[in-house]
Structure formats: structure tokens, C-alpha cells
Amino acid sequence: MSNFISKVERAIIMDITPNIATHLLSTSVGNRKIRDWHVDVLAGSMARGEWRITSQGIGIDKNGNLRDAHHRLMAVVKSGVTIRSVVVMGLSLNAYEVTDTGIARNMADLLNENKRITDILNAGARLYFDTTRPVTIDQMRPIMDSGLYDTAKTLIKHCNTTRTFYSSATVKLAACINIMNGSDAEYVLTQYRALCLLDFASMSPASMSLVKQVNDGKANARARNLDTICRALRTFDIHQKDSSESSAKPDQIAAAIKIVIDVLNNKIILTDQYPKPESKANVIKPVQVIKKPKKTTGIDDELKELLDERTTESYLHKSGDRKKYVNG
């Protein structure tokens, strides 16, 4: 076992085996708060061969005691993978007090991209990998290559306005998935913009129904509220533009999530890491429209008037103006 005691500050790059990681962890001073989910993320990255040497190393004080990098070392032990890392020895005993404690960089930092775009990528990746945890940049690459990145940029370029719920990551993801799945891009972009601006005159009946669902408290922008993807996919589907359907039943939610995963699967530029999926047609099945008396409590006067006057023939759409912003 290497001797990590050093009276002078020095840094080396070396292999960190599970045995060395276990030894270093045994020298840790005090009880560090461990985030198990973060260990899992790092271990998964190591197991997939995504780990790279960075300037952020393992810190050891002059007595040979571990001062930081606990999560990384625990991930080495958990994954059973040997990694290469910078190791800094001979640190003063109070060095930990000034160790960088800043928030970990998010995907927007890593990609040097607008957060309004990267939150769409994150929303898609988390549904695709069925996780609530952050995904790594390597996991994100096939999601970006699927065409979602370019579609997201088109959406935000068309309307950069933010509004609670309507510009949430999940709603934006639903708009992008509809475009990628062959829906009329002009219709999707128009409806997304109308929702963000609350431009009732440009809204389809389905979009106005979504506004009513939000105002009635049926839909909200809480994180991981999976019924939102179901409601938003339906809203941006031109075949359901006249729908007033407001339910989001478990089977409808499951079907909506499957559509997102299938669209991404069928568009991804495949690598050896990702097994080739069967190509399938993705169809959003129209729901039967049930006419019910409209509740107007809590709806602002302009929306109420439009809901009362709007007929199924009132929305005009030129199918000849169809555009698609997808790769291949």
C-alpha cells in the first residue's frame, strides 16, 4: 500500500484501485455527510467507462489522512473499477476549511448552453433513463444526437418568453417530441408561443383546455409531475387540436411516457453503449371528446368569453405550411 504521508505539498497522478480507495477512506477524519445517490451516479459513470482525469483531485493532509473526495472513493469501491486521479498530499490540517464548496456545475455549464434548452434535454434524459438523478454528459450525448437538442433550440428561438407551467421543461419537452414524431411543427410552435404569451386568440381549443386545467388546479408545474407530459403531448398534437379532454389517467400517462422514450429511441444515433431498439411507429391515440358543461370559476373573463364562443371550426391551420425541425 502506498504511503500517503508527506510533509511537503506535492501532487501526482496515480491509479486508484478499490483497495487503495478503501484504505484512504479508513483514514478519513471525522464523519462526512455522504449522499448515497451521488455515490451511485459516480459509480455508474465509472462502470460505463466515462470517468476522466480532471484537475479536481483527492486531498490528503500531511499526516496521511483523507480530507476530501469521499464520494469518488466510495464510488470506486462500489463499482470495483480502478480509475486514474490526481492525488494531492501534504495539505495543511486546516486546508479543508477553504476547499471549494460551490454547487456542482449543471448541464448548462457543461454544454455552455442556455438553461432553457438544457432543461429540455434533462427532462428527456430523465424520462429515457427512468431516473430522478442527474445524468452524466456521456449519457446526455445520445439524447442530444437524437435531434432533441436542435428541436429545443428551434422552440426557444421561436419563443423565449417564460411563464409558469407553460414554459416548464416538461411542457417544452412535449412540444419537441411532437415535432420529432412528425407532427406539424408550425402548429406546435404557434401553440407553444400562444400559451407562453397567453394569446387566447391564437390558441386552439386544446390549448385553451390546457389553460383551464391549469386555472382549475388540475395541472401544475411541480417537478416529476408525470401527468404534465400526458396533458402537454395531447395539447401539441394537431390531430387533437379540438379536444377538450382534461383527464390524465395512469394508462394515459404510461402511454405518453412510452411515446417520449420510443421517439428518442428511434432517433438516437446509436453507439455500442445503447442497444439498437426495434423501430416502431409512434401514434398518439386521439381520445373521445366528451362534451360537458364548462366550469368557469376562476377563469379570467377573456378566456371565459373565448371558451363560450369558440367552435370546433374556429381554428384555421394551413397544412401546406408544414415544417419539421428534426435530423434525418
Q: What is the CATH number of the domain that holds 41?
A: 3.90.1530
pLDDT band at 112 (very low <50, low <70, confident <90, very high): low
The answer to whether residues 130 and 256 belong to one domain is: yes
Question: 199-234 pLDDT, tens per residue?
Answer: 999 999 999 999 999 999 888 866 457 899 999 999
Domain boundary among the residues 98, 127, 148 is at 98
The answer to whether residues 90 and 172 belong to one domain is: no
pLDDT band at 81 (very low <50, low <70, confident <90, very high): very high
Domain boundary among the residues 60, 81, 98 is at 98
The answer to whether residues 216 and 144 belong to one domain is: yes
| Mean pLDDT, residues 264-286 | 54
Is 136 within 8 Å of 41 (Cβ atoms)? yes
The answer to whether residues 235 and 151 belong to one domain is: yes
Q: What percent of the chain has pLDDT over 70?
A: 72
Which of 164, 155, 234, 231 lies closest to 192 in space, CA to CA?
Answer: 155
DSSP sequence for 172-228: HHHHHHHHHTT--HHHHHHHHHHHHHT-GGG--HHHHHHHHHHHTTS----TT-THH
Residue 295 lies in a domain: yes
For the chain, the domain total comes to 2
Residue 189 lies in a domain: yes
The answer to whether residues 268 and 248 belong to one domain is: yes
Residue 5 lies in a domain: no
Can you tell me the distance from the alpha carbon of 245 to that of 267, in angstroms, rounded to the nearest whole number? 29
Residue 1 lies in a domain: no
Is 231 within 8 Å of 287 (Cβ atoms)? no
The answer to whether residues 240 and 287 belong to one domain is: yes
pLDDT band at 151 (very low <50, low <70, confident <90, very high): very high
Residue 68 lies in a domain: yes
The answer to whether residues 168 and 227 belong to one domain is: yes
The answer to whether residues 57 and 127 belong to one domain is: no
The pLDDT assigned to 289 comes to: 46
The pTM assigned to this predicted structure is: 0.57
The answer to whether residues 73 and 123 belong to one domain is: no
The answer to whether residues 193 and 149 belong to one domain is: yes
Q: Please say whether the dihedral angle defined by the alpha carbons of residues 161, 163, 165 and 166, taken in this order, is positive or negative.
A: negative
Helix (H) or strand (E) holding 59: strand 58-61
The pLDDT assigned to 42 comes to: 87
pLDDT > 50? residue 270? no
Can you tell me the distance from the alpha carbon of 92 to that of 119, in angstroms, rounded to the nearest whole number? 40
Residue 273 lies in a domain: yes
The top-scoring range by mean pLDDT among 218-227, 264-273, 303-312, 318-327 is: 218-227
Question: 188-199 pLDDT, tens per residue?
Answer: 999 999 999 999
- What lies within 8 Å, CB to CB, of 19 at 6+ separation is 1
Residue 327 lies in a domain: no
pLDDT > 60? residue 312? no
Q: C-alpha distances in angstroms, 28 versus 25, 66, 99, 295?
A: 5, 5, 15, 62
Residue 4 lies in a domain: no
> What grid cell was written down for 152?
429545443
Domain boundary among the residues 49, 76, 98 is at 98
- Residue-range definition of the domain harbouring residue 67: 10-98
The helix/strand count (H/E) of the chain reads as 13, 3
The answer to whether residues 217 and 131 belong to one domain is: yes
The pLDDT assigned to 3 comes to: 78
The answer to whether residues 129 and 94 belong to one domain is: no
| Mean pLDDT, residues 30-49 | 80
